[in-house]
Amino acid sequence: MIKTEKALGILQKRLSSRRYIHSLAVAEIARELAEMNRIDAGKAYMAGLLHDYARGLSGSDLLKIASDNNLMLEEVERLAPDLLHAKIGAFLLEKELGLEDAEMLQAVAFHTLGHEKMTELDKVIYIADMIEPGRDYPGIERLKCLAFRSLDEGVLFGLDITIRHCIERRRLIHPQSIRARNAFLLQTGYSC
């Protein structure tokens, strides 16, 4: 595992100051959610800290890395390359920093779009990214309430917010988020 001091130094150089502060806040929320849900809090903190490792890369850089390493799965990723930052971040954490913890890498990879088979750590990082104190959008207070009661309900509501946001702004919706929402809807007791 990467030492906290080393990770902080790397992120401070790599990220904008705003994104660095965001990453610190996500790490703290991730630790809190992990402790509440009996998940490894150290692992959650580090995954939260590193979750936006590739966030500062340009769209063309993200596309090149994805293309060169066969990481692009959907056409929507080519059209909206920022959607690749989570997946590319996990890839680069392994390649550049030697991070070998598969659970942490997956949590980083799924933190933006969700996934239909998220682990508890994946859910923690997904939610922590959405509710850190610097965030402000319609529904955040409800999301916080749900997330601290149930990770599954929090993820489902988070996916709802994200998809609604994309629809309202006429943005593309990644099919992975739709698959994730459908899976969580079924898990949490969907009825017609």
Q: Which two tokens stand for residue 122?
A: 């994946």
User: For the residues 25-30, what does the mean pLDDT come to?
Assistant: 98
Rg (CA), the chain: 16
Asked if pLDDT for residue 191 goes beyond 80, the answer is no
Question: How distant, in Å, are the alpha carbons of 96, 104, 105, 111, 129 from that of 99?
Answer: 8, 9, 8, 17, 20
- Tens digits of residue pLDDT in 40-68: 999 999 999 999 999 999 999 999 999 99
Whole-angstrom distance, CA of residue 16 vs CA of residue 31:
23
Class of domain 4-136: mainly alpha
Confidence of residue 189 (pLDDT cuts 50, 70, 90): confident
Task: Provide the residue type at 117 as one letter.
Answer: K
pLDDT in tens, 150-183: 999 999 999 999 999 999 999 999 999 999 999 9
Tokens of 115: 């996934």
> Whole-prediction pTM value?
0.96
- Spatial separation of the C-alpha atoms in residues 46 and 31, rounded to whole Å: 9
- Contact assessment for residue 48 and residue 26, using Cβ atoms and an 8 Å cutoff: yes
